[in-house]
Amino acid sequence: MQKAVVFCYIQNFEFKYIKRGNKMQKTTRRQFVQQMATTIGGIALSGPTMLFAQNKPIKIGVYAPSHCSLPPVHAFHMKLYQKNGVNVEIVYCKEMLDIVNKLYAGDVEFAQLMSPIILQMHSGQMKSKHVPLAVTQVLGTNGGILGISSQSKIKKIQDLAGKCIGVHSPLMVHYLIMQLLLDKYGLSQKNVDIKTVPMHRIRQALVSGEIDGFINPEPLPALLESQSISRSLLQTRMFWLNHPCCLLTCRKSYFKKNQQMVEDVTRATATSCLMLNSIAMRKSQIEKIYAFHTPFNKIPLEQLQQAFQPRRSDFFPFPFLSSAYVIVEQMKKAKLLPESLKVKAFAKDVFQSNFAMRIIEQASSLVPGTSIPSSIERNETFKLI
């Protein structure tokens, strides 16, 4: 009779052993999880009990119900973190600045943050202290809408001349896309007023005529469209296909010291992204999340499905270095980063694309039909509509 398999687990995840007979065999964490799943009927991958959970949960700060917060929330409720052997707590924050402060203070280990915020933090341009960061994956792609008042006569981009467009922050990629869009169409802030309007005020600003339009990630645009307050002039993906929005980040020091933990958290979140990015799976996965008590329940399911429909909002998780180059260049033009900054060197210091390539290769095996990037860079194109 085969002897029972026993295991020894050391909390910092550095050593795992599987015993067969009188031999102790060292194995990788992933092999360990798979072995335990086979040995005891899959409980490590699908059961409610965590075989190995650190005492203190790993905290991920998110801003929900935003487009890019969906993957961590989905990964949590679908037990993807648990299946990767990680005890995670989702920390819901009222605004991005709250997430920034929690990351600075060490109150969260990982954060959903807008890409320009991460780059400013890494460069030391934020008002708070300088904290180098590491980006391990993208949380959302596309997902932006240039919307205009439903009463407006604006029909094309050129009609924006002399108008006022609201943005909730200059530190979001959609603000940079707006700048790039104006430049490509021969416009600028000399003839298009870009006004910072807090997200909770965009609806009223449109209704009152304070602004003629806005650019914002989902689900706000879908909600305003459903109320006949706005209509879509442009989906940002139509201009810059598969552009990143928010990113998953952690302190650079944490990334270096806790590589296995970072891999496990990123693998789980990337798997969620790939599931949500699947056209065949997305609708059912959103319905599953809606069954839990999360901030996404504040939005009617019909509008949520509209906001996150394929091609309008997507979730491909790979952090292409070429996308980082574009964002850094635009931030320099907008004087959000120093002009002296070396674009490629700076981007490579933040975007951990080689690390991410290894993770997406692992995650893709769990989601049928997933494509793996052939390179950490791609051709970034901007299409005039």
**pLDDT-derived band of residue 130, with 50, 70 and 90 as boundaries?**
confident
Same-domain check for residues 288 and 228: no
38 located within any domain = yes
Q: Could you tell me how far CA 29 lies from the centroid of its own chain?
A: 25
The pLDDT value recorded for residue 384 is 80
Query: 301, 308 in Cβ contact below 8 A?
Result: no
Question: Are 118 and 253 within one domain?
Answer: yes
Domain end (from 239, 270, 304):
239
Q: In which band, very low, low, confident or very high, does the pLDDT at 319 lie, cut at 50, 70 and 90?
A: very high
Query: How would residue 4 be classed by pLDDT, with cut points 50, 70 and 90?
Result: very low
The answer as to whether 160 is a domain residue is yes
* Pair (104, 233) in one structural domain: no
Higher-confidence position of 180 and 29: 180
Question: Mean pLDDT throughout 93-118?
Answer: 97
pLDDT band at 134 (very low <50, low <70, confident <90, very high): very high
What CATH number should be reported for the domain holding residue 160? 3.40.190.10
The whole-number pLDDT of residue 30 equals: 54
Is pLDDT above 80 for 115? yes
Together in a domain, 79 and 12: no
Task: Report residue 31's pLDDT band, with 50, 70 and 90 as the boundaries.
Answer: low
Q: Among 20-29, 199-208, 303-312, where is mean pLDDT lowest?
A: 20-29
Averaged over 39-53, what is the pLDDT?
38
In a domain, 52, yes or no: no
Q: Are residues 64 and 160 in the same domain?
A: no
- pLDDT at site 307: 98
CA angle 170, 176, 182 (to 5 degrees): 115
- Between CA 230 and CA 70 the distance in angstroms is 24
- Is 51 inside any structural domain? no
Tens-place pLDDT, residues 143-192: 999 999 999 999 999 999 999 999 999 999 999 999 999 999 999 999 99
Asked, for residue 369, whether it belongs to a domain, the answer is no
| More confident: 118 or 42 | 118
On whether residue 270 sits in a domain, the answer given is yes
Residue 28 has pLDDT above 70, yes or no: no
Same domain, 357 and 277: yes
Q: Say which range, 16-30, 56-70, 171-185, 232-246, has the weakest mean pLDDT.
A: 16-30
Do 272 and 355 lie in one domain? The reply is yes
Q: Which of 207, 239, 271 is the last residue of a domain?
A: 239
Distance (Å, rounded) from C-alpha 33 to C-alpha 198?
45
Same domain, 137 and 270: yes
Does residue 269 contact residue 111 with C-beta atoms inside 8 Å? no
Instruction: Indicate the average pLDDT of the chain.
Output: 88
Entry pTM: 0.87
Phi, psi dihedrals of residue 15, rounded to the nearest 5°: -130, 130
Claim to verify: residue 132 and residue 148 sit in the same structural domain: no
Whole domain around residue 178: which residue ranges? 143-239
**Among candidates 59, 39, 379, 77, which has minimal Cα distance to 241?**
379
Among 12-21, 159-168, 214-223, 327-336, the range scoring the smallest mean pLDDT is 12-21
pLDDT in tens, 252-282: 999 999 999 999 999 999 999 999 999 999 9
Max mean pLDDT range (7-16, 118-127, 267-276): 267-276
Give burial (CB, 10 Å; 0-12/13-18/19+) of 353: buried
Q: In what order do the strands lie in the sheet with 6-9?
A: 6-9, 16-20, 23-26
Give domain status of residue 382, yes or no. Answer: no
Band (pLDDT 50/70/90 cuts) for residue 21 is very low
Does any domain span residue 373?
no
What percentage of the chain has pLDDT greater than the value 90?
A: 83
| Residue 135 and residue 251 share a domain | yes
257, 286: one domain: yes
Domains held by the chain: number: 3
pLDDT band, very low/low/confident/very high, at 1 (cuts 50, 70, 90): very low
Least confident of 36-45, 205-214, 268-277: 36-45
